[in-house]
Structure 1
Amino acid sequence: MRRSADIDALQQVLSAALGAREPVCSLAQLGGEAEAFAALDPAVLERPTLVGGGSPYHPTSPAPAPHTLDELTRRADELNVAQILVPNVRRSDDTGALRAAGLVPLATESECVVRLPGEVDEVLRARVGAGRLHDLRRHHHAVSCDVTWERIPLTELGGNAWAKDAFVELHRRRAERHGGHDNLYNADALDTLAHGALADRTEMLVRRSEKTVVQAGLITTSHNGRGLYYLTHAIDHDHPAARHNLHVATLYELYRHARSSGLEWVHLGRGDAHRMRPLGADLFVPLDHWLRAPGLAAPAAEGAEQALSEFAAAPVTGVPVPGPARFRHVPRFDTIDLSSNTSPFLGTAAEYPHLDTAELADTYLTTISTLPGHAGVAALSADHLLFTSGAVDGVMLLLAALASPGERVCVTPPTFPLYAHFAHLLRLPVVDVPLCGDDLSRLDTERILAADPRVTILCDPNNPVGTRLDPEQVHDLLVRGRGLVVIDEAYVEFSEKPSYAGLVEEHGNLIVLRTLSKAWGLAAARCGIALARPGIVEALRRVQVPFGFTNASQHAVRDRLTNARPVLDGIRRIRAERDRMASALAEHPAVDRVFPSETNFLFVRLHKHERVMEQLRDAGIVVADTGRAIPDTCRITIGDRRANAALLDALSSAV
């Protein structure tokens, strides 16, 4: 929760739960924080602590301002309490005042949010997969046959004593199961909540089997009216209905309720991504508890921005990250945003895209780290990655951010033509060093090094040829060259040879470009990826136009990355069809040569180039005519069996 009045209300609830005028208790009494407090001295765990600035309940609160911390310190001194805890502060908040006051951060679990940009089943199918959705629906159906779904406004709790009693009893039993710590949702706490500032926005969820309450919880509508906080729940695990995974079934019903009420998200509280993703969570915001205790040393202040790379162009070193992108790590889902000058009457399409893509970056790195040939990727962080509007946007960004007019750019034709195109637009001289060898897979490294380019752009696997470069030559350029080496890996998922992505931390002059347009089937989402050391990524970010990565694209990317099985199946099918087509074309009388390919296309030299191209056009088949780059050639994308059969038929007509 991001409003001080809401946090104050929860502070009063905590005091009531503790039976005290002030929220003072031991850390051990708070419960559920064993991991965050594990390294602390036992004396610290048992010492009285003033809880302030936040709440031990699930919602987060802003980092306290200096005057709030001064007041908190004054209260601690008056109470003769040596320790202060400010729990659940987002790591993205400005924590300078906390550091200055001598509080120390203790990492805890992230807060987890389920965003609902569309119908619940469609969102969950894309996010967790059809199998997991089937399980959610099955649990929901089984539970719905046995128990009711009731929502009781907290303001009406006085007339529903049975619900209050059941809620308190179930939470008492839950506290006993989790180590016997104090129950923070006892009768006094519930009464205080029902008469406080949150009462009008809070409901009790009750699930009953006949007259027996088997689950009770609380939900609160956010102050911006756009989402729900799922504050707590407790289950009677001895009841037969609990066998159907009652919690999961309730979450599914809660998502449906939120969506039907026009809400956009459900806040699930804290958890780890591995456990919460299968429940539909797609936003994970890192949190810290901040503790002042005798003997705990305050951490050193951290820099506000990532240090720039030495490769940053001179104009880039003097400018910050543009506009709102400076605040990209600050979540906005639970705020009232009156800063963007957009229409409040035309729905979410009138809002700017989310700028915080750190969790999505981690998801991408985690996903590709499991693929063959991606050793070292697991060691990279979100700071090594920048999302771009397609990989071609990454080329433009890096040339603008890392090269100044007059500095040379080396390309290795035949290659993707937009490399040279963008370089010319930016007044960067282009040096052509053609590929050599029978398969056009060898670099003339000595010519490249002699040209001393600021940037060398390699397409590997190559487009349009489809072959891979000699890795020893690529490493030679990285080690001996003074400039940057950019490797465009748009087609690397189709190759059985390793990616260079895991080497970006090892080589400060390496940038790897990736795309989700090819193997991942998201060309319409326009999602490219630049992987490099954080200092290079920071330079690219200073040039990038904010808001280029739309919410729709982010949702599509996240859903695809978390359900990668169809992608991997598609890659296997394309490889098999590519090999079959390569054999068929190699024996075809219209074809002179089929080049080896580690992509999803084949580069073919034809006997009667013009006639074949004309015949294909007449047959309604479009292939890439590469005859201007390499005489008598074309590039053929691997299609499905029907499309490939049509191509072979059309070729036969041209003989």
Structure 2
Amino acid sequence: MRRSADIDALQHVLSAALGSGAPVCPLARLGHDTGSFAALDRAVFERPTLIGGGAPYHPSSPAPTPHALDELVRRAEELDVAQILVPHVRRGDDTGALRAAGFVPLATEREGVVRLTGDVDEVLRARVGAQRLQDLRRRDLALSHEATWERIPLGELDGSPWARDAFVRLHQRRAERDGGHGCLYNAEALDALAHGALADRTEMLVRRRENTVLQAGLIAMSHTGRGIYSLTQAVDHDDPAVRRDLRAATVYRLCLDARRSGLEWVHLGRGDVHHMRRLGADLFIPLDHWLRAPDLVPPEDGGAEPELSEFAAPPVTGVPVPGPARFRHVPRFDTIDLSSNTSPFLGAAGEYPHLDTTELAATYLNTISTLPGHGGVEALGPDHVLFSSGSVDGVMLLLTALTSPGERVCVTPPTFPLYAHFAHLLRLPVVEVPLYGDDLTQLDTERILAADPRVTILCDPNNPVGTRHDPEQVRDLLVRGHGLVVIDEAYVEFSENPSYAGLIGRHENLIVLRTLSKAWGLASARCGIALAQPGIIEALRRVQVPFGFTNASQHAVRDRLTNSRPVLAGVQRIRAERDRMASVLAEHPAVARVFPSETNFLFVRLHKHERVMDQLRGAGILVADTGRVIPDTCRITIGDRRANTALLEALSSAL
């Protein structure tokens, strides 16, 4: 329904519904869409308006080209209509022509899509959880026992007058429930659709119990042949709970039918994101109505990308976001892509990854904002988030985008060695300011500030030690330093102390790196997250390889984030086992000291270091030998009870 020819056909349907030769009506006539116009002056709300699209019969309108917009304005002048509405435009479309012509965006509901990446039940179980899936299956089974499920091609609707009459009646009742506005799914509209260009791709869905129609709706096959749009559903019941049950069962049945037919997605239409997510949707596309009226003033921002941060390196300021990443907000599930030079014969794996991770970023922020120690994260938005191929990739990105050769990078050994490694590769001098204190928690802030580094990278919780830095010293660096402070929080979920992510909105020079490889159990998905001010994220995006975050990784991340209960349970088990192992190891004769840990590992100083390491290798047990960093030490990851018992037995054998 994204082709201009389809929108033209739907405009004829709208004209038929209105009983006029042109799609002109007050905004108040658009039924459930009127909520988007609630803040408008009443005169604007009631003024005759030329509708430049087929609302409400389609999911979204393509943004008109400059030529199409000129024609729309010309037609409005011919009709002597002062107001024009282009409804339901995807926010990722090129809306420059609309802005230039004086149209004003008004945010409305999002459209949701269920992407069918495998067996329907497995897909939904990952997205909505086993209990919710069981509920959907139960509702579908109950309905299948009490009501028939029929699909009537719209071109054959003349042979089923009962279905036509029931459809019109149910939609009239729905319009009355929604506030009494005129029903645009009336008999005239349905007849125009049934005898128009879209009839061969459209079906009526009917559920009926004997001779009583319980539900009637429309679905349309996409012009690509790869998915279906759910255009409308109306239910013969006044109880909202019953209506929700029927809708949920219908979506589940549509997904099953679509997957059996080899289709890749089901479009749910527009609605509440939370409700659509509970139906299995995993793609949510923001929409705007674009309205031109004498009383409205266009916004001044022009829809531009975020301004670059002052920390962006000079070469980055002169280049755009590379290649296809410029179009990352443009969903491609319902377009025919002949731009990428890929094979059309080898399935979805032959396609490049989706680039629009806006909804996934929102999901990530929503999920971590509920975790302890993450106050302030709720104030961040998707523009503060960049996904990378692991947090290590994020380090390379930020050093590339935000530094120039010769600028200093400060690290605080003992720390993760790849910080200095990447800095050396980029010809950045490395200043080492070691941690101090008995537990290696103290930063020498005065030495760091005196070095005046472009970037200071802190690993907090620290790898390999496992301790946290003094938070007052970290804040001192943020406030007094001239450069960027990067805090790698790869292990923060195992800590009982707060994350620094909630401070992003207060500090222009703060970058927080996160990963889903550790606590979230997705090391193979290679997903890192950079959290920073939008201007920094924009700079990182300009140097990032466009397709590094694969579709498989995105699906795995989305599924894990929307079903985080096992993750949180796993973190608690690891904490408990960490504390148990710390106590046992502290009493073990092979161990000289166990450092405090707020991670999923223990940093241990050994007696007879070389002998113990040889014994562990001989027992088939791998631990990280950190003896070159701090003499006689190793880093032990917390495993399950069986692995940890094997470690203790091997340590005893080394004595």
Instruction: Tell me the TM-score normalized by structure 2.
Output: 0.98
What is aligned with 1:396?
A: 396
What is aligned with 1:619?
A: 619
User: Residue 505 in 1 paired to residue 511 in 2?
Assistant: no
What is aligned with 1:523?
A: 523
Aligned length: 655
The alpha carbon displacement at 1:67 in A equals 2.1
The alpha carbon displacement at 1:170 in A equals 1.3
Bigger Cα displacement from structure 2, 62-71 vs 509-518: 62-71
The alpha carbon displacement at 1:291 in A equals 1.4
The alpha carbon displacement at 1:182 in A equals 1.2
The alpha carbon displacement at 1:35 in A equals 2.4
Contact 1:517 1:527 in 2 (8 A): yes
Structure 1 CA distance for aligned equivalents of residues 94 and 129 of structure 2: 37
User: Residue 351 in 1 paired to residue 351 in 2?
Assistant: yes
Instruction: Report the secondary structure of 1:298's partner residue.
Output: coil
Contact 2:414 2:435 in 1 (8 A): yes
Structure 2 CA distance for aligned equivalents of residues 162 and 504 of structure 1: 60
The alpha carbon displacement at 1:505 in A equals 2.2
What is aligned with 2:631?
A: 631
1:262 corresponds to which letter in structure 2?
A: G
2:468 corresponds to which letter in structure 1?
A: R
The alpha carbon displacement at 1:418 in A equals 0.7
Structure 2 CA distance for aligned equivalents of residues 303 and 261 of structure 1: 40
2:478 corresponds to which letter in structure 1?
A: L
User: Residue 165 in 1 paired to residue 165 in 2?
Assistant: yes
CA, structure 1 residues 107+600, in 2 after alignment: closer, same or farther (shift >3 Å)?
Answer: same
Structure 1 CA distance for aligned equivalents of residues 438 and 239 of structure 2: 73
What is aligned with 1:49?
A: 49
Contact 1:214 1:241 in 2 (8 A): no
The alpha carbon displacement at 1:77 in A equals 2.1
The alpha carbon displacement at 1:408 in A equals 1.3
1:454 corresponds to which letter in structure 2?
A: R
What is aligned with 2:441?
A: 441
Instruction: Report the secondary structure of 1:275's partner residue.
Output: helix
The alpha carbon displacement at 1:461 in A equals 0.1
Structure 1 CA distance for aligned equivalents of residues 372 and 330 of structure 2: 34
Bigger Cα displacement from structure 2, 497-506 vs 64-73: 64-73
Contact 2:85 2:290 in 1 (8 A): yes
What is aligned with 1:4?
A: 4
User: Residue 258 in 1 paired to residue 274 in 2?
Assistant: no
Structure 1 CA distance for aligned equivalents of residues 595 and 241 of structure 2: 63
Structure 2 CA distance for aligned equivalents of residues 272 and 382 of structure 1: 18
What is aligned with 1:329?
A: 329
The alpha carbon displacement at 1:43 in A equals 2.2
Map 1:144-543 → 2, pairs under 5 A: 144-237=144-237, 242=242, 245-302=245-302, 304-543=304-543
The alpha carbon displacement at 1:586 in A equals 0.7
Contact 1:408 1:429 in 2 (8 A): yes
Bigger Cα displacement from structure 2, 463-472 vs 405-414: 405-414
Structure 1 CA distance for aligned equivalents of residues 244 and 591 of structure 2: 62
Structure 2 CA distance for aligned equivalents of residues 186 and 53 of structure 1: 18
CA, structure 1 residues 579+241, in 2 after alignment: closer, same or farther (shift >3 Å)?
Answer: closer
Structure 2 CA distance for aligned equivalents of residues 389 and 302 of structure 1: 32
Structure 2 CA distance for aligned equivalents of residues 26 and 238 of structure 1: 28
Contiguous gaps of at least 5 residues in structure 2: none
Task: Show CA shifts across 1:581-623 (max 9, x none).
Answer: 1111111111111000000000011112111111111221111
Structure 2 CA distance for aligned equivalents of residues 161 and 387 of structure 1: 53
Structure 1 CA distance for aligned equivalents of residues 417 and 205 of structure 2: 60
The alpha carbon displacement at 1:29 in A equals 1.2
What is aligned with 1:547?
A: 547
The alpha carbon displacement at 1:58 in A equals 3.9
Structure 1 CA distance for aligned equivalents of residues 270 and 142 of structure 2: 27
Contact 2:312 2:402 in 1 (8 A): yes
Structure 1 CA distance for aligned equivalents of residues 2 and 300 of structure 2: 27
Instruction: Report the secondary structure of 1:337's partner residue.
Output: coil
Instruction: Report the secondary structure of 1:284's partner residue.
Output: strand
User: Residue 14 in 1 paired to residue 14 in 2?
Assistant: yes
Bigger Cα displacement from structure 2, 97-106 vs 542-551: 97-106
The alpha carbon displacement at 1:100 in A equals 2.1
Contact 2:616 2:647 in 1 (8 A): yes
The alpha carbon displacement at 1:549 in A equals 0.2
Identical aligned residues as a percent: 81
Instruction: Report the secondary structure of 2:506's partner residue.
Output: coil
The alpha carbon displacement at 1:179 in A equals 1.5
Contact 2:13 2:54 in 1 (8 A): no
Contiguous gaps of at least 5 residues in structure 1: none
1:626 corresponds to which letter in structure 2?
A: T
Contact 1:53 1:68 in 2 (8 A): no
Contact 1:84 1:291 in 2 (8 A): yes
Contact 1:91 1:286 in 2 (8 A): yes
Contact 1:53 1:64 in 2 (8 A): no
Contact 1:460 1:488 in 2 (8 A): yes
The alpha carbon displacement at 1:244 in A equals 8.7
CA, structure 1 residues 257+479, in 2 after alignment: closer, same or farther (shift >3 Å)?
Answer: same
Instruction: Report the secondary structure of 2:505's partner residue.
Output: coil
Structure 2 CA distance for aligned equivalents of residues 67 and 621 of structure 1: 69
CA, structure 1 residues 287+303, in 2 after alignment: closer, same or farther (shift >3 Å)?
Answer: closer
Task: Show CA shifts across 1:491-545 (max 9, x none).
Answer: 0010011111111221111111000000011101000001111111111111111
Structure 1 CA distance for aligned equivalents of residues 247 and 298 of structure 2: 40
Contact 2:612 2:654 in 1 (8 A): yes
Structure 1 CA distance for aligned equivalents of residues 54 and 21 of structure 2: 17
CA, structure 1 residues 390+244, in 2 after alignment: closer, same or farther (shift >3 Å)?
Answer: closer
Structure 1 CA distance for aligned equivalents of residues 395 and 428 of structure 2: 13
Structure 1 CA distance for aligned equivalents of residues 212 and 642 of structure 2: 60
Bigger Cα displacement from structure 2, 285-294 vs 551-560: 285-294
Instruction: Report the secondary structure of 2:441's partner residue.
Output: coil
Contact 2:390 2:527 in 1 (8 A): yes
Instruction: Report the secondary structure of 1:599's partner residue.
Output: coil
What is aligned with 2:116?
A: 116
Structure 2 CA distance for aligned equivalents of residues 65 and 231 of structure 1: 25
The alpha carbon displacement at 1:161 in A equals 1.5
Instruction: Report the secondary structure of 1:419's partner residue.
Output: helix
User: Residue 603 in 1 paired to residue 603 in 2?
Assistant: yes
CA, structure 1 residues 572+150, in 2 after alignment: closer, same or farther (shift >3 Å)?
Answer: same
Task: Show CA shifts across 1:284-341 (max 9, x none).
Answer: 1111111122312222242532211111112111111111001111111111111101
Contact 2:10 2:53 in 1 (8 A): no
Contact 1:142 1:244 in 2 (8 A): no
Contact 1:602 1:638 in 2 (8 A): yes
Structure 1 CA distance for aligned equivalents of residues 307 and 69 of structure 2: 30
Structure 2 CA distance for aligned equivalents of residues 594 and 242 of structure 1: 59
CA-atom RMSD, angstroms?
Answer: 1.5
Bigger Cα displacement from structure 2, 14-23 vs 291-300: 291-300
Contact 2:415 2:463 in 1 (8 A): yes
1:202 corresponds to which letter in structure 2?
A: T
Instruction: Report the secondary structure of 2:475's partner residue.
Output: helix
Structure 2 CA distance for aligned equivalents of residues 146 and 242 of structure 1: 14
2:27 corresponds to which letter in structure 1?
A: L
The alpha carbon displacement at 1:82 in A equals 2.0
Bigger Cα displacement from structure 2, 193-202 vs 173-182: 173-182
The alpha carbon displacement at 1:243 in A equals 7.8
CA, structure 1 residues 96+579, in 2 after alignment: closer, same or farther (shift >3 Å)?
Answer: same
What is aligned with 1:106?
A: 106
1:394 corresponds to which letter in structure 2?
A: G
The alpha carbon displacement at 1:79 in A equals 2.0
Bigger Cα displacement from structure 2, 342-351 vs 56-65: 56-65
